[in-house]
Amino acid sequence: MTSTVKLRARTLCRRVFTGTLLLFLAMACVLVGTQLVGVVLMQPGLVSWGSDVLLTPCITAAVVFGVVAFVSAYVMPAEAAGGD
């Protein structure tokens, strides 16, 4: 690959990595926050609702983030990855 293509691939991977990380963290915070509010207000229905509605999308976002991180590891240069 040419250096321009490699540079674009690295930039794209970095942006997708950052975006999926932020998406996963935001969804996880909403899930935990919903359940925390349910515990504090003693509303077991709210705790169950948060788990029923948000758990699968959070897991899906985490899997996508993991796949993007795996692909990004192959695109980044060896010296930036901390290899010896």
28 lies in some domain: yes
Find, among 23, 31, 26, the residue nearest to 65 by Cα: 23
22 lies in some domain: yes
83 lies in some domain: no
Q: How many domains does the chain have?
A: 1
Q: What's the pLDDT tens digit per position in 12-42?
A: 888 998 999 999 999 999 999 999 999 999 9
CA–CA dist 83, 5 (Å, integer): 22
49 lies in some domain: yes
Which pTM does this prediction carry? 0.74
CA–CA dist 10, 1 (Å, integer): 12
53 lies in some domain: yes
How many CB atoms neighbour CB 54 within 10 A? 17
At residue 83, the pLDDT reads 52
Structural domain range at position 11: 1-75
DSSP state of 79: T
